[in-house]
C-alpha cells in the first residue's frame, strides 16, 4: 500500500474539533491569555490539583465521575470530582500534619490504583512535589530515585514495600514516612487509609504560585544517574490546552490513557490534562491484553484513547478479526506517543478500528505535547505532525562556539523548541550542568534527530545520544551497565537498543569478562538474572552477548554506536571519525 496523506474526515456523528484552524490560532495565541482561562487562586496563585478537581466542582461537575477504576480482578470503583476533591484535601492535610513542607518530595510507588491519583492531587495541593516511581522498577532504580529526590514520604503497597524498599531502607535516610495503601500500621510503616480517615476533608485553597515546583519526573541520559526533570504549577496551562487541542478532550468525554503514571505520559495525560478538561478518566489496573482492551473500549464507551506504538503493534498481532468483534462506535479520537508510530499502524487503525491513530511528540522535559497530528489537519502517516499553537519548533545544528543554525526543510538536524512554554522543565534536580547543556541561545535542544518537510510536518529519525526506548520506556545505558559491572565476572559492558518487532527496541548488552571467567550459557543466564533482580523486568537486558573486548574511544568510553552497527550488520565506517564524534559528545 502506498503511504499517502489521510485527509481529515469528520465522522458523521461527531461535533467539530476543539482546534479548528491551527494556523489561524498561531498569531493571536499567547500563553498569558491561555493562563487567564484557568481559575487561578487569590493573589496570582495557581495550583494544578485545584484546577484539576476543585475548579470542576465549582463549575458544576461535582457529581460527574472523574475516575473510573477497573481492578485487575474485575473490581470497579468510581470517584466523582467532589470525592476526589475531598480525598485529596484529606491527603494534603495529612502531609501537613506529618510536617511535610512546601517543596518536599513525595514519591508514590504503586500500580495503577486510585490511591495514586489521590496522593498525586493531595501532594500538589499541599505545595509538595509529586514524584511517581514505576512499580516494575527493581530495587536499584528505585533506590537511585529515592536517594536523588531525597523523598521524605513514600506511598506504596505492602508487597512492593517488602520486596523492594524495606531491604534497603537503611540506605534511605531522608525517607521518614512510608504509608501503605493496603495494610494496617506495621514495622516502620503506617496505614494510609487509617491516617486519611482521621483527617478533615475541609481545607483552604492551596497557596502555590505558578512558578512553584510541582512535579518531578526522572528521565535517563547517556551518562550518569537518571536526571530529575522538575516542572512547575504553571505546567497546567499547557496540560489543559494540549489536552483540548491535541487529544480533542471535552467535558463529559470518557477518556482512557493507557500509560502508567510511573512515567510522564501517565501523569500529564493520565491524571492532569483529562481532569482539567472535565472528562471521566478510565484507569485499568491490569496489564495489556488485546481482548480486555477492546472490551474496555466497548463497555466503557471510550471516546478518546491515548496509547503507544508498542500496544498498537500488539493489537495488530492479535489480528483485525479480533478488533472487528467489538462495537467501538463511541471512539472519536485515537492518539499515540512515546516511540515512532509507523505508517502501517496508522492505516491499520483506519482499517481495523475505523479511525487513524494520530501521532504526538513530546518528552519528559517538555512536560506536554509539542508536536501533533491534530483532528483538524491531514495526517501524514509516519510524521509526528506539526507544532501546536504556542510552540515554535525547528530543526537546528549546534554551533561549536555556542548558538544554533536553523536548518531548511528537508535537512536533518536536532529537533529544537523555542523556550517559553509553561510546561517546560525548570531544572534537573541538582544537575545544573546537564540542564544548561539542553539549551543554546533561546532554543531547547531535544536530543532527537528529525527533519521537517515543506508542509511543516516533523519526521523522527532517531536519538542523538545512546538512550533507547523499549515498549515506550526510556532507558539510559548508565543504569544498566552500572548494575552489570557489579557482577564479579564483568570487566566491561555496553548497552544498545536492538530493534524488536513489538517493543520497538529491546535492551541488549555486550559483556567482556574478567580474566579467569569464560563465556558460557550458564554465565549468560546468571548475568541476565542478576540484572533482572536488581533492575526489574522493564529495564533489565533481554539479550546478552559476550565479546573479548569492547570498542572504546581513545579516552576509554565504550562506543555503543559501534556495538549497534555490528548488531545491525552495518558497515563500521571510518573508525577514527567515529572515535572523534564520540569524544565530542557532551
Residues that bind ligand 6R9 (CB under 6 A): 219, 263-265, 337-341, 359-364, 384, 446-448, 460, 463, 469, 474
Give first-to-last CA distance, the chain, whole Å.
42
Nearer to ligand 6R9, 17 or 226 (CB): 226
Nearer to ligand 6R9, 161 or 348 (CB): 348
Grid coordinates of 90: 484529606
CB of 190 to ligand 6R9, least distance (A): 32
CB of 236 to ligand 6R9, least distance (A): 17
- 67: β partners: 79, 281
- Residues near 327 by Cβ (< 8 Å), separated by ≥ 6? 298
CB of 253 to ligand 6R9, least distance (A): 21
CB of 345 to ligand 6R9, least distance (A): 11
- 427: β partners: 230
Residue nearest ligand 6R9 (C-beta atom): 364
For the chain, the residue count is: 586
CB of 168 to ligand 6R9, least distance (A): 25
CB of 373 to ligand 6R9, least distance (A): 9
CB of 336 closer than 8 Å to CB of 307: yes
Grid coordinates of 556: 576509554
How distant, in Å, are the alpha carbons of 256, 299, 539 from that of 302?
A: 7, 8, 31
CA distance 389 to 26: 5
CA distance 171 to 180: 19
In three-state secondary structure terms, 120 is: helix
CB of 415 to ligand 6R9, least distance (A): 8
What is the layout of strands, in order, in the sheet containing 177-180?
190-191, 177-180, 153-156, 105-109, 129-132, 213-219, 227-232, 427-428
CA distance 121 to 126: 9
CA distance 113 to 121: 13
CB of 508 to ligand 6R9, least distance (A): 18
CA distance 152 to 128: 10
CB of 346 to ligand 6R9, least distance (A): 11
Nearer to ligand 6R9, 69 or 443 (CB): 443
Say which DSSP state 6 is in.
B
Closest CA to 365 of 299, 282, 291, 423: 423
Nearer to ligand 6R9, 414 or 579 (CB): 414
Nearer to ligand 6R9, 87 or 539 (CB): 539
Closest CA to 398 of 410, 411, 416: 416
Nearer to ligand 6R9, 48 or 308 (CB): 308
CB of 326 to ligand 6R9, least distance (A): 26
Nearer to ligand 6R9, 126 or 384 (CB): 384
Nearer to ligand 6R9, 50 or 357 (CB): 357
Q: Give strand ranges (E) for 151-279.
A: 153-156, 177-180, 190-191, 213-219, 227-232, 254-257
Nearer to ligand 6R9, 91 or 269 (CB): 269
Nearer to ligand 6R9, 293 or 460 (CB): 460
Nearer to ligand 6R9, 237 or 360 (CB): 360
Grid coordinates of 522: 550458564
In three-state secondary structure terms, 141 is: helix
CA distance 231 to 366: 9
How many CB atoms sit inside 10 A of residue 586's CB?
A: 14
CB of 215 to ligand 6R9, least distance (A): 13
Residue whose cell numbers read 516542572? 231
CB of 448 to ligand 6R9, least distance (A): 5
Nearer to ligand 6R9, 298 or 392 (CB): 392
Closest CA to 112 of 242, 328, 281: 281
20 sits in which H/E element: none
Amino acid at each position: 500500500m502506498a503511504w499517502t496523506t489521510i485527509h481529515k474526515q469528520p465522522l458523521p456523528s461527531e461535533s467539530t474539533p476543539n482546534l479548528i484552524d491551527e494556523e489561524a490560532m498561531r498569531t493571536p495565541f499567547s500563553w498569558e491569555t491561555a493562563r487567564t482561562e484557568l481559575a487561578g487562586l487569590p493573589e496570582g496563585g495557581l495550583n494544578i490539583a485545584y484546577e484539576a478537581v476543585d475548579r470542576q466542582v465549582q463549575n458544576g461537575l461535582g457529581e460527574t465521575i472523574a475516575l473510573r477504576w477497573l481492578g485487575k480482578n474485575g473490581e470497579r470503583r468510581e470517584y466523582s470530582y467532589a470525592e476526589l476533591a475531598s480525598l485529596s484535601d484529606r491527603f494534603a492535610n495529612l502531609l501537613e500534619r506529618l510536617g511535610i513542607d512546601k517543596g518536599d518530595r513525595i514519591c508514590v510507588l504503586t500500580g495503577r490504583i486510585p490511591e495514586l491519583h489521590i496522593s498525586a492531587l493531595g501532594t500538589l495541593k499541599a505545595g509538595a512535589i509529586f514524584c511517581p516511581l514505576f512499580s516494575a522498577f527493581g530495587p536499584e532504580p528505585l533506590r537511585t530515585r529515592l536517594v536523588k529526590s531525597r523523598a521524605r514520604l513514600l506511598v506504596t503497597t505492602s508487597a512492593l514495600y517488602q520486596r523492594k524498599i524495606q531491604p534497603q531502607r537503611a540506605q534511605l535516610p531522608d525517607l521518614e514516612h512510608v504509608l501503605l495503601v493496603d495494610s494496617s500500621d506495621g514495622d516502620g510503616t503506617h496505614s494510609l487509609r487509617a491516617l486519611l480517615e482521621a483527617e478533615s476533608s475541609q481545607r483552604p485553597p492551596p497557596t502555590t504560585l505558578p512558578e512553584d515546583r510541582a512535579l518531578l519526573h526522572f528521565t535517563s541520559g547517556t551518562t550518569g544517574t537518571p536526571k530529575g526533570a522538575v516542572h512547575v504549577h504553571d505546567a497546567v496551562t499547557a496540560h489543559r490546552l494540549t489536552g483540548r487541542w491535541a487529544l480533542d478532550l471535552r467535558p463529559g468525554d470518557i477518556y482512557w490513557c493507557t500509560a502508567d503514571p510511573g512515567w510522564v505520559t501517565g501523569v500529564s495525560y493520565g491524571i492532569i490534562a483529562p481532569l482539567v478538561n472535565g472528562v471521566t478518566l478510565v484507569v485499568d489496573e491490569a496489564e495489556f491484553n488485546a481482548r480486555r482492551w477492546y472490551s474496555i473500549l466497548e463497555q466503557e464507551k471510550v471516546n478518546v484513547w491515548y496509547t503507544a506504538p508498542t500496544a498498537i503493534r500488539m493489537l495488530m498481532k492479535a489480528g483485525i478479526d479480533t478488533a472487528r468483534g467489538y462495537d467501538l462506535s463511541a471512539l472519536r479520537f485515537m492518539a499515540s506517543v512515546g516511540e515512532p508510530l509507523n505508517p502501517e499502524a496508522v492505516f491499520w487503525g483506519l482499517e481495523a478500528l475505523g479511525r487513524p491513530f494520530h501521532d504526538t511528540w513530546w518528552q519528559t522535559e517538555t512536560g506536554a505535547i509539542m508536536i501533533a497530528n491534530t483532528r483538524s489537519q491531514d495526517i501524514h502517516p509516519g510524521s509526528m505532525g506539526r507544532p501546536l499553537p504556542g510552540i515554535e519548533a525547528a530543526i537546528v545544528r549546534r554551533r561549536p562556539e555556542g548558538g544554533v543554525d536553523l536548518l531548511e526543510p528537508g535537512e536533518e538536524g536536532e529537533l529544537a523548541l523555542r523556550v517559553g512554554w509553561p510546561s517546560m522543565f525548570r531544572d534537573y534536580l541538582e544537575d545544573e550542568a546537564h540542564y544548561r547543556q539542553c539549551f543554546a541561545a533561546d532554543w531547547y535542544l531535544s536530543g532527537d534527530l528529525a527533519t521537517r518537510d515543506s508542509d511543516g510536518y516533523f519526521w523522527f529519525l532517531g536519538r542523538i545520544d545512546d538512550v533507547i526506548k523499549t515498549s515506550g520506556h526510556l532507558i539510559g545505558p548508565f543504569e544498566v551497565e552500572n548494575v552489570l559491572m557489579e557482577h564479579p565476572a564483568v570487566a566491561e559492558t555496553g548497552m544498545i537498543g536492538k530493534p524488536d518487532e513489538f517493543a520497538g527496541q529491546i535492551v541488549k548488552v555486550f559483556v567482556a569478562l574478567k580474566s579467569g571467567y569464560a563465556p558460557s550459557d550458564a554465565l549468560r543466564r546468571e548475568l541476565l538474572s542478576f540484572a533482572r533482580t536488581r533492575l526489574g523486568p522493564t529495564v533489565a537486558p533481554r539479550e546478552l552477548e559476550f565479546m573479548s573486548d569492547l570498542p572504546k574511544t581513545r579516552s576509554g568510553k565504550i562506543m555503543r554506536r559501534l556495538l549497534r552497527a555490528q548488531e545491525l550488520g552495518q558497515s563500521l565506517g571510518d573508525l577514527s571519525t567515529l572515535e572523534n564524534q564520540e569524544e565530542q559528545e557532551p
